[in-house]
Amino acid sequence: AIIMSLKLHEELRSLTKELKEHNYRYYILADPIISDQKFDLMLKRLEYLEAQFPQLKDPNSPTEKVGGGITKKFQTIAHESPMLSLGNTYSKSELVDFDNRIQKMIGHSNYTYVAELKFDGLAISLHYRNGRLDKAITRGDGQVGDDVTKNVQTIKSLNHSLEGDFPSKIEIRGEIFMHKMAFERLNLQREGKGQNTFANPRNCAAGTIKMQDSSEVAQRPLDIFLYHLVSPNASSHWEGLNRISAWGLKTSEYAKRCNDINELMDFVNYWENEKQKLSFDIDGIVIKVNEIEIQKQLGYTSKFPRWAISYKFATEQVTTRLKKITYQVGRTGAVTPVANLEVVNLLGTNVKRASLHNEDFISKMDIRENDVVKIEKGGEIIPKVVGVVVEKRSYQDSPPFHFISKCPACFSTLVKRDGEAIHYCENSSCPPQIKGRIAHFASRKALDIEGLGSETIELLVDKKLLFHFKDLYQLSYDQLFDVSKIIVNPDGTEKKISLKEKSVNNLLMGIEKSKEKPFEKVLFGLGIRYVGETVAKKLAKKFKSWESLSNATREDLEQTEEIGTKIAESVFAYFSNQFNIEVLNDLQNAGLNLVFFEEAKVSRILENQKIVVSGVFSHFSRKDIQQTIENHGGILQGSISSKTNLIVGGENMGPAKLAKAKKLNIKIISEKELINMLDG
Ligand code: IVH
């Protein structure tokens, strides 16, 4: 018995330590390494052990605290009332218990609920004074948080001034988050610049709000939902939400009043199935007693309100057998391993394949063919393998896995480039690469060639009618008519595809139309590494023609907005290759647009005005304001000089700039004044 309890003592101590570390990772670094569910399980276990051995309990135990902490970089501010977290559960029967508990405590059932989505972001407390946003404070440790007002002011959907009638002093709490699309776009951009990517929108939002440079924050598309009017008190939570939105602040349209536990369950079940359809991540449902009087009667524990609870969705994870690891060659030559699975249902879809990332991932996790693997659906469309159930492995069936050394399509030796985990096939005539490049060129965001889907590409490449983009522009009706091929489907069945009159005409028309597409689309379609849609646009706009782009030095390239060393290097390398120059010459001869056409100006109000933009803006991102100025004929300048006609100043405009403007007697206008000027 003594040995047993010594073991438990040891477990208590190490759990305390571990949980503190996880708290630190979650709240301070915004980079958690375990799931919320795992964390909660560990916390429950610690609570249990502490109850057994109260004398061993750390006074700063993670079970005593809301969690979190504060970062040194910001001024800290004490919350007027503590920012508590919510008790949570993963089980629906505990929701029924919650409802029963409330009835018991207040002795009747004359109360209602509000059910809300549990937004997966970071909590924020907003203070409005006389209708103006005065302070925005993070949760921190629940008692004291960071003053991140400047950063929060950059959130476009958040009004800085309230509408209608309002009391002089208001505190509202809510959640800052990032939409899934915005997150993916940002990660792509970061990848292109060789920066680390964020694991999920929540981490990204939390990391962003802790940045020192608000102008940098302004570039990141954060959003906010407000879900709690703290003061002044309303008579019900629902009324509080209505007041918040009457003041012009954003609440969620999905909050719902529920009369009883059955209606709550319907809400929970509905969102458990439909959450994927939202443009942002939620990790559960929050249930709140609606009547403030009843809330007061129920009160708080040291950590949670007794009148609210969160139901958390379990992460969608299932296990299945990994039948075989195969490989896919992408248009860049990257060879990615793919797990071919015994079909399994995950979130209502049948999953047959999952991503295995690269060789390092497979060897780190020691994934082997025939293993039972855990697969998970994250925010992405393609599910991924996240672990192996080692207990279910029979070793005689499962030798360690070895990555291939030759390309599965063309058998050339694979290469791992410096510092990269990915294997590449460097034979640019490898058929899947050719097909991938053409598919990208023809895709909707590039040249958008109708009639050129993946099957047709497969057919034309295999029939040697198509090697490169330029070949598209040589194709004739006679060459295309009645070309046919038998395709073997993944399930072994066969299908004959052939081009008939209608599809040939359709394709030729699609190809003809692609000649009208603007330069930036062609540039994107070329598939230069790291040149996504946005970068292509920036390059087209700055260099105006492919000739000047191809003559640009690395330094010229790097001086383009949003373009770092890695992109510059890649573009430079592309145009240093004689083959690519010929491709562009051919495309130009075929009649494609390889010159940039300015978008039409919206007005001439600012014609020839030399304008400097400085500070952080609330209605525009910096890019938008610059674009707007250009659209109205203004000429942007990087810094103030005697030639400057006008300065558009936002928050945070530095004192040095102000002094210079004053000395040179240059007019400074606010973004509001600019908007008025352009409207009028
Ligand atoms: S109410 C006392 N409502 O979840 C009331 N919280 O685990 C406390 N959260 O810190 C918060 N969506 O960051 C509330 N609709 C919602 C929420 C929500 C997300 C977050 C919030 C809170 C945490 C509690």
Contact 504, 417 (CB under 8 A): no
Three-class DSSP labels, 284-299: EEEEEECEHHHHHHHC
Share of the chain above pLDDT 90, in %: 61
Least confident among 180-184, 347-351, 503-507, 633-637: 347-351
Neighbours of 24 (CB within 10 A): 15
Question: Does residue 504 register a pLDDT over 90?
Answer: yes
Report the separation in Å between the CA atom of 85 and the middle of ligand 1, taken as the mean of its atom positions. Answer: 7
- Atom nearest to 304 CA in ligand 1: 2
Compute the distance between CA of residue 507 and CA of residue 481 in angstroms, rounded to an integer: 11
Pocket of ligand 1, candidates 138, 175, 202, 241: which has the most ligand atoms within 8 Å of its Cβ, to mutate? 175
* Confidence tier at 214 by pLDDT (50, 70, 90): confident
Nearest CA to ligand 1 atom 13: 123
SS3 at position 388: strand
Nearest CA to ligand 1 atom 21: 123
Look up residue 403 and give its DSSP letter: -
pLDDT, position 506: 96
> What are φ and ψ of residue 182, in 5° steps?
-60, -40
* Confidence tier at 379 by pLDDT (50, 70, 90): very low
Instruction: Map tokens 């159930």 to a residue.
Output: 389
Report the separation in Å between the CA atom of 510 and the middle of ligand 1, taken as the mean of its atom positions. Answer: 51
Span 455-502, pLDDT tens digits: 999 999 999 999 999 999 999 999 999 999 988 876 778 889 899 999
Mutual angle of helices 2-23 and 36-52, in 10-degree steps: 140
Q: Which of 177-191, 225-239, 610-624, 628-642 tops mean pLDDT?
A: 225-239
- Atom nearest to 252 CA in ligand 1: 15
* Confidence tier at 71 by pLDDT (50, 70, 90): very low
Q: b or e along 382-394 (b: 16 or more beta carbons within 10 Å of the residue's beta carbon)?
A: ebbbeebeeeeee
Cis status, amide bond into 490, omega within 30 of 0: no
Neighbours of 481 (CB within 10 A): 14
Helix (H) or strand (E) holding 396: none
Report the separation in Å between the CA atom of 123 and the middle of ligand 1, taken as the mean of its atom positions. Answer: 7
SS3 at position 78: strand
Work out the mean pLDDT of the chain and round it to a whole number.
Answer: 90
Name which of 99, 152, 384, 373 is nearest 263 in CA terms.
99
Helix, strand, coil percentages for the chain (3-state, nearest 5): 40, 20, 40
Q: Where are the alpha helices (DSSP H) in 24-77?
A: 36-52
Average pLDDT over residues 587-608: 83
Report the separation in Å between the CA atom of 498 and the middle of ligand 1, taken as the mean of its atom positions. Answer: 57
Report the separation in Å between the CA atom of 166 and the middle of ligand 1, taken as the mean of its atom positions. Answer: 24
Compute the distance between CA of residue 620 and CA of residue 609 in angstroms, rounded to an integer: 20
Report the separation in Å between the CA atom of 156 and the middle of ligand 1, taken as the mean of its atom positions. Answer: 22
Q: What is the dihedral of CA 456, 462, 465, 471, to 10 degrees?
A: 70
- Which residues lie with the beta carbon below 6 Å from any ligand 1 atom? 84-86, 116, 118-119, 123, 175, 227-228, 286, 305, 308, 310
> DSSP secondary structure string, 486-529?
EEE-TTS-EEEEE--HHHHHHHHHHHHHGGGS-HHHHHHHTT-T
Question: Does residue 68 register a pLDDT over 70?
Answer: no
**Catalytically active residues, by annotation:** 118
End-to-end CA distance of the chain: 84
Neighbours of 99 (CB within 10 A): 21
Beta strand 169-178 with 122-129 is antiparallel
Q: Where are the alpha helices (DSSP H) in 559-646?
A: 565-575, 578-590, 622-631
Compute the distance between CA of residue 625 and CA of residue 613 in angstroms, rounded to an integer: 8
Pocket of ligand 1, candidates 23, 85, 176, 224: which has the most ligand atoms within 8 Å of its Cβ, to mutate? 85
pTM, rounded to two decimals: 0.52
Question: Does residue 234 register a pLDDT over 90?
Answer: yes
Name which of 32, 421, 57 is nearest 199 in CA terms.
32
Report the separation in Å between the CA atom of 586 and the middle of ligand 1, taken as the mean of its atom positions. Answer: 58
Compute the distance between CA of residue 96 and CA of residue 104 in angstroms, rounded to an integer: 12
Question: Does residue 258 register a pLDDT over 50?
Answer: yes
- Atom nearest to 117 CA in ligand 1: 15
Mutual angle of helices 201-209 and 180-192, in 10-degree steps: 70
pLDDT, position 518: 92
Pocket of ligand 1, candidates 84, 117, 118: which has the most ligand atoms within 8 Å of its Cβ, to mutate? 118
Span 6-58, pLDDT tens digits: 899 999 999 999 998 887 777 667 677 888 778 888 998 999 999 999 899 88
Question: Does residue 72 register a pLDDT over 50?
Answer: no
Name which of 483, 467, 475 is nearest 509 in CA terms.
475
pLDDT, position 70: 42
Report the separation in Å between the CA atom of 122 and the middle of ligand 1, taken as the mean of its atom positions. Answer: 9
Pocket of ligand 1, candidates 79, 238, 253, 286: which has the most ligand atoms within 8 Å of its Cβ, to mutate? 286
pLDDT, position 346: 82
Q: Token digits for 511?
A: 């190809």
Question: Does residue 593 register a pLDDT over 60?
Answer: yes
Nearest CA to ligand 1 atom 9: 118
Chain centroid to Cα 464, Å, comes to 40
